[in-house]
Structure 1
Amino acid sequence: MPTREARLLAVARKTLPPAIAERWISLIRPAVRLRPAGRGDRVVGRLGGCPSVPDDFEWPVWTGEGSLSFVASVDCAKLPRESIDLALPTSGTLLFFYFDDTLGYFDPDHPPRTVGKWDPQSLTAGSRVIHIPAGVPAAEREPPADIEPYDWVPLAASPRLTGPDWSHPAFRAACRDLPKDELSFFDDHANGDAFMAALAATVPSPAHQIGGYAFPIQDAVELDVACAHLGVDGARGDRASPAVCEEARRWVVLAQIDSDDATGMMWGDAGRLHWLIRPADLAAGRFGASSFTWQCG
């Protein structure tokens, strides 16, 4: 059976010209896959259910819209550190919340706003990452009455390797100094389709993970966040402005949570949620500075 690295090398060398393939390979990063825990697996977190929080925990709310749903938790001390190249806390628990407008009991005359890149303010108001330090007494908390919990699934961790997607600004930047005739490969979108289809075959399903590169359904998720933070609506993908690409490269993926039938999580049309953060904010434990986007087909 091919190793994780061999599979990614094969994707690059079969679908990209040699010089571009080697630039892409140089960007490969480790990640932690989160998968349903089986018998004998070490449980590192959970999807859904009720979060364990301190007595004084204030449930996150989008003011004027409603309570955020608890999506996932991860015990930082139990993650395989060799599969993380982020400055994650070495202890404590990370909790991920999202405003899911399909779950609440809302007034039909006043439908809630939907979190999305079309509404930049919603990306921070409608999502949250919270770190509960180790040693703080915590107990499971039922969610507020305006939302229902997702079904609970315990999670185990497996190491995996990830590479940037076709539109990722780091990939494009790594190739910038190549001759024009080689860069013309990027002009044909059929080349990108073939590359992304091959890359998709290496992505486990459901694609829950910590760190690494996201696997987007549309353009690179970093571009979504960059546009939101710059307050621009501009062209996407290979037409993104230099300013958007520069801002996008300042962000890293913290977590990706896929749609998952086992939990009742369905993000639009089988979409994925993505939490991102700047490395300096992550190193300083400023999880309130994280951002968010989601994509679906």
Structure 2
Amino acid sequence: MKKNSSTLIEKHGLGHAKQEIMDSVYECVTITPEAAAFLPAGTSKFGGAPDLPESLAYPEYKNIPLNFIGQVNLAELAALAFDGNPLPQEGILYFFYYDNWEEDDDVVFGEPDQKDGWRVLYWDGDTAQLRLVERAKVSYPQCKMAFSIQDKLPYIFLETDEDEEKFEELHDEWHLSEESEHQMLGLPVSVQGEVFEEVCDYVGAEEDEMVLLLQVDSDEENLDVMWGDCGMIYYCISKRDLAEKRFDRSWFSFQCH
């Protein structure tokens, strides 16, 4: 959804900083979960159980099945005609995580020694080979992913305290209609430190060489999930690894308040 950016900026008395604000705006793909009891195999979705081919083993961490976060049919994403979409035009991405926040102290935050605590799998074969994995660890309600292109406004620092207050009001109104921050591409909505800055060294890349594969917000209403204290989880990959479809080199981050 395109914002009436100039009108909003002028409304909040920041016309003098319009160019600086507009230069910070970025496009991304936002995801709205829609409850669905049944979905055809290969449909983009959060939760439920994954549709996997026999060639992909269900991932584990310490001999425990990972929680299935969701799957994205990249053809559905390509149909949006998102400018500069760096992802493959076909195939399915699967996202898994060892979600044990309330069970023990071994919380997977994205440290190098926890590398098997998350997984991103990619498959680009015939969808007729996909089967619902009944043995999957079903942890979240099944919801269809509805994709849309949106302009987002990140927090930026302006010169005066007065402008800072005005910008905060602008930011709140800009994102007023957004109930959650489920997202692909664009910039991560960081809860603590900058996500790309946090993970880039782990994959041997610079911050501007990182791509946000998936960001999943706390969402008790739709997904029955709370990441710590109103946190988010993020899956990122370097542009180099993405070009080579090396999704096994994706990195993960868990942030919360």
TM interval, shorter chain, is: 0.7 to 0.9
Question: d(CA) in 2 for partners of 1:158 and 1:151?
Answer: 21
Question: d(CA) in 1 for partners of 2:45 and 2:181?
Answer: 14
Number of the residue aligned with 2:4:
6
Out of 105, 109, 118, the residue aligned to residue 127 of structure 1 is 118
Number of the residue aligned with 2:230:
270
Q: How many pairs does the alignment contain?
A: 248
Question: d(CA) in 1 for partners of 2:196 and 2:89?
Answer: 25
Following superposition, the deviation at residue 153 of structure 1 comes to 0.9
**Percent of residue pairs identical:** 25
Name structure 2 gaps, 5 residues minimum: none
Alpha-carbon spacing, 1:202–1:59, altered in 2? closer, same or farther (3 Å): farther
Question: d(CA) in 2 for partners of 1:164 and 1:155?
Answer: 24
The answer (yes or no) to whether the contact 2:185–2:213 under 8 Å persists in 1 is yes
Question: d(CA) in 2 for partners of 1:8 and 1:153?
Answer: 35
Which amino acid counterpart does residue 147 of structure 2 have in structure 1? A
Number of the residue aligned with 1:78:
76
Number of the residue aligned with 1:287:
247
Out of 191, 211, 216, the residue aligned to residue 252 of structure 1 is 211
Alpha-carbon spacing, 1:193–1:76, altered in 2? closer, same or farther (3 Å): farther
Alpha-carbon spacing, 1:199–1:90, altered in 2? closer, same or farther (3 Å): same
Number of the residue aligned with 2:106:
113
Following superposition, the deviation at residue 217 of structure 1 comes to 1.9
Number of the residue aligned with 1:28:
25
| Greater Cα shift, 24-33 or 89-98 | 24-33
| Greater Cα shift, 286-295 or 81-90 | 81-90
Offset from partner CA, 1:102-131 (integer Å, 9 cap, x none)? 47xx7xxxx4511115x3432x33222111
Following superposition, the deviation at residue 256 of structure 1 comes to 1.0
Offset from partner CA, 1:199-258 (integer Å, 9 cap, x none)? 35434122211111222222321122136568xxxxxxxxxxxxxxx8322212121111
Following superposition, the deviation at residue 10 of structure 1 comes to 3.1
**Normalising by structure 2, what TM-score?**
0.80
The answer (yes or no) to whether the contact 1:216–1:295 under 8 Å persists in 2 is yes
The answer (yes or no) to whether the contact 1:8–1:202 under 8 Å persists in 2 is no
Alpha-carbon spacing, 1:160–1:294, altered in 2? closer, same or farther (3 Å): same
Question: d(CA) in 2 for partners of 1:87 and 1:254?
Answer: 10
Alpha-carbon spacing, 1:139–1:192, altered in 2? closer, same or farther (3 Å): farther
Question: d(CA) in 2 for partners of 1:35 and 1:207?
Answer: 9
Number of the residue aligned with 1:219:
193
Alpha-carbon spacing, 1:157–1:229, altered in 2? closer, same or farther (3 Å): closer
Q: Normalized per residue, which structure has more strand?
A: 2
Number of the residue aligned with 2:148:
158
The answer (yes or no) to whether the contact 1:75–1:93 under 8 Å persists in 2 is yes
Question: d(CA) in 2 for partners of 1:120 and 1:8?
Answer: 44
Following superposition, the deviation at residue 90 of structure 1 comes to 0.6
Alpha-carbon spacing, 1:152–1:229, altered in 2? closer, same or farther (3 Å): same
Following superposition, the deviation at residue 18 of structure 1 comes to 3.9
The answer (yes or no) to whether the contact 2:238–2:250 under 8 Å persists in 1 is yes
Following superposition, the deviation at residue 166 of structure 1 comes to 3.6
Question: d(CA) in 2 for partners of 1:100 and 1:223?
Answer: 23
Question: d(CA) in 1 for partners of 2:252 and 2:4?
Answer: 31
Query: Residue 206 of structure 2 aligns to a residue in which SS?
Result: helix
Which amino acid counterpart does residue 58 of structure 1 have in structure 2? A
Which amino acid counterpart does residue 109 of structure 2 have in structure 1? G
Aligned residues: CA RMSD: 3.3
**Normalising by structure 1, what TM-score?**
0.70
